[in-house]
Homo-oligomer: A and B are copies of this chain.
Amino acid sequence: MKNKVKIARVQAELTQQQLAKKTGVTRQTISLIEKGKYNPTLNLCLEICYATNQSLDEIFWIPKGEKDV
């Protein structure tokens, strides 16, 4: 699960704690998602986009074939 959450978060100048609060989850959840250790739900993906002012494609898109490499 390669994604760009950490990049988006840093660009938005948020800590994991702050992003967690804005998105309604815990800091641990943000940490694990950044580390690629699990597979967030669409709702949470959208909340992360709103909090960082980016789109789903910008943060979460993975080209076909690059996903489970």
Contacts and interface: CB of A to CB of B under 8 A. Distances in A.
Copies in the complex: 2
Nearest to A56: B56
B39 A41 contact: yes
Interface residues of A, number: 18
Contacts of A50: 64
Contact of A57 (B3, B39, B41, B55): B55
Contacts of A61: 46, 55-56
Interface string A1-24: 101000000000000000000000
Interface of A: 1, 3, 39-43, 45-46, 50, 55-57, 60-62, 64, 67
